[in-house]
Structure 1
Amino acid sequence: MSNAPLIAVVDDDEAIREALDDLLRSVGFRCRSFVSAEDFLALTDRTGIACIILDVRMPGLSGLELQERLNAEGGGHPPILFMTSYADDGTRRRALGGGARDVLGKPVDAHVLITSLNSAIAAG
């Protein structure tokens, strides 16, 4: 079993999930992808997840709604990085106000994502 940090990717776009999986694995992370916020919430054991990369707009629960649910669960949760094509000021304020570590626009530069991811994991 690898000691590499496990990153959860929650995005309804299959191409994005696959690209992030390839990128994250190429720099030494483990990755687990989820097609929706509901899919992620169905995971009963979230221990070991070092960070969540989360899309804002998805069918069903949005990424912001998932963040609110995780906050309401109490007990803390892994740091969240949002990736979105809709990085308007209101979305950014809501995400960061809810405790997200960063809000990155799509398409995201790989170096920017990995830097933000490492910072989020280090901060816990």
Structure 2
Amino acid sequence: MVDDDEAIREALDDLLMSIGFRCLSFVSAEDFLARADRPGIACIILDVRMPGLSGLELQERLNADGGRRPPIVFMTSYADDTTRMRAMGGGACDVLGKPVDAHILIASLNSAIAAA
């Protein structure tokens, strides 16, 4: 998960671990990109607006890398049509609004991972 909001990272980490997911949290897109062993990541939960590199810019970088890219589920407080179209056009599996319903997030993650 990549989100600059510590409270969201902690809450989602607790939720995902409670249902058996192993979760890695990153405070920024740059923090995520600095991690060398990304091939083991099954799905990315990604915030759209963050200081520095945005979630959409991170998606573009991952797409440009040309290698295996894990599925992406965006979560955002800014789920306008332009953002949604840009994310989905870049291959995102879903764009969920914050605050996100836990059941919807889990269903979205399971769907994204199954389709990968």
Common topology (TM > 0.5) = yes
TM-score by length of structure 1 reads: 0.93
Could you say which residue in structure 2 is the equivalent of 1:88? 80
Note the 1:100-119 alignment, pairs <5 A: 100-119=92-111
Tell me the CA shift for residue 48 of structure 1.
Answer: 1.3
Residue by residue over 1:71-96, the C-alpha shift from the partner in whole angstroms, topping out at 9 and shown as x without a partner, is: 00001210000000000000000000
Higher-strand-fraction structure: 1
TM-score by length of structure 2 reads: 0.99
Gaps in structure 1 of 5+ consecutive residues: 1-8
Count of paired positions: 116
Which amino acid is 1:112 matched to?
I
Aligned residue for 1:50, secondary structure, equals: coil
Gaps in structure 2 of 5+ consecutive residues: none
Could you say which residue in structure 1 is the equivalent of 2:55? 63
Higher-helix-fraction structure: 2
Could you say which residue in structure 1 is the equivalent of 2:115? 123
Aligned residue for 1:35, secondary structure, equals: coil
Question: Aligned equivalents of 2:61 and 2:67: distance in 1?
Answer: 12
Note the 1:26-105 alignment, pairs <5 A: 26-105=18-97
Aligned residue for 2:10, secondary structure, equals: helix
Aligned residue for 1:103, secondary structure, equals: strand
Residue by residue over 1:28-73, the C-alpha shift from the partner in whole angstroms, topping out at 9 and shown as x without a partner, is: 1000000000000001111211000000000000000000000000
Which amino acid is 1:108 matched to?
V
| Root-mean-square deviation (Å) | 0.4
Question: Aligned equivalents of 1:112 and 1:43: distance in 2?
Answer: 28
Provide runs of 4+ in structure 1 moved above 6 Å. none
Residue by residue over 1:1-50, the C-alpha shift from the partner in whole angstroms, topping out at 9 and shown as x without a partner, is: xxxxxxxx000000000000000001110000000000000011112110
Aligned residue for 2:85, secondary structure, equals: helix
Q: 2:9 aligns with which of 17, 34, 47?
A: 17
